[in-house]
Amino acid sequence: MGHTTFLVRLTSWIGPTAWKGPRGRIRSNWKWRRPLGGALIGLLVAAAPGTCADAKNVSFKIPPVKIPLTVKDQTITITAWGQISLVSTNKDRQIFNLELSADLGELQENLTGLLSAQLDKDDRCGERIQIQQATLAPAYPASVATVQLHFERWACIKAFGKQQAKKLVSGNAVIPLKLTPGVEQDNTELKLVPEVGTIQADGSLGEILRSGTVGEMIQEKIRSSILSALKKGTNLGATLPPVVQGHARIENAAFMDAGSGRLLVVLDGQVRITKEQVEMLSEQVKERIGKK
């Protein structure tokens, strides 16, 4: 059996450096200039459909797909594209490597808004949270989300027949959260394993954020918000031609640095389809290229 690589390279500008894939294989970056669509007009099917059973160099390049996300009433996009390459064949199935790429640059630029929408709160007699700044940076094979926030805790008491709010805790904090990617059991979606770093916080706020439900809630919302965006950007149904969507499996995942801190997410997987489905794949890829 051939082994497949499912790569998601995320960038509209990648420098000529070399980097390791999730399995430790060395890959070369190439330079993409915006717009991505223009750079990929020349993507062609490497061989005629009928030759797939015999040639090991058969390759189909998947044109870029722009996947929209809404962040605080603003639309951002994750751009995904890829390549499907034959590695082995038998009488029943063609085994393909699947390399997919997606650009998370806009997600990084709008991370503050994304987390603010999930975490900001203003309870008169409870907790008040305001996200001040959030960044997401590669730290192979993980990424690190660094979140700066202002936190207050208030309590309401009755005095002279009136309810009054009293501030109990107030301060600023910096929370670094390491996010290591993995693959769910169904082999079609990403997961993120969080690991909180050293929290910097004013006074007693540090203790609140390091232990107890408040810190756990903030960490979980950071993780789940980023994961939700990543799942949309790496959705196989949104990126792959219909004929292979139900036959792709993800096996490994890692984040990469595309240069200047621009984030890549890399997925390894496998596609197994019949000769008839290979012919359909060829037609669907040609149709997508023709629409660009």
Q: Indicate the average pLDDT of the chain.
A: 82
Residue 22 banded pLDDT, cuts 50, 70, 90: low
Residue 28 banded pLDDT, cuts 50, 70, 90: very low
Domain coordinates of the chain in residue numbers?
A: 18-105+232-291, 109-230
Specify the pLDDT at position 4: 37
- Rounded mean pLDDT of 97-125? 92
- pTM for the complete prediction? 0.78
Q: Note the pLDDT tens digit of each residue in 117-142.
A: 999 999 999 999 999 999 999 999 99
pLDDT greater than 90 at residue 181 = yes
pLDDT greater than 50 at residue 167 = yes
pLDDT greater than 50 at residue 157 = yes
Specify the pLDDT at position 56: 60
The share of the chain scoring above pLDDT 70, in percent, equals 80
Q: Measuring CA to CA, how many Å separate 136 from each of 145, 173, 182?
A: 4, 17, 17
Residue 124 has φ and ψ, to the nearest 5°, of -60, -40
Q: Note the pLDDT tens digit of each residue in 38-60.
A: 333 333 344 334 333 444 678 99
pLDDT greater than 90 at residue 154 = yes
The residue written with tokens 């994961």 in the block is 227
Contacts (Cβ under 8 Å, ≥6 apart) of 193: 179, 180, 181, 182
Angle at 86 between CA 82 and CA 91, to 5 degrees: 140
Specify the pLDDT at position 11: 33
Q: Measuring CA to CA, how many Å separate 145 from each of 37, 162, 195?
A: 30, 43, 10
Highest-pLDDT range among 158-167, 215-224, 259-268: 215-224
Nearest to 210 by CA among 196, 222, 221: 196
- Rounded mean pLDDT of 153-162? 86
Residue 247 banded pLDDT, cuts 50, 70, 90: very high
Q: How many CB atoms lie within 10 A of CB 172?
A: 14
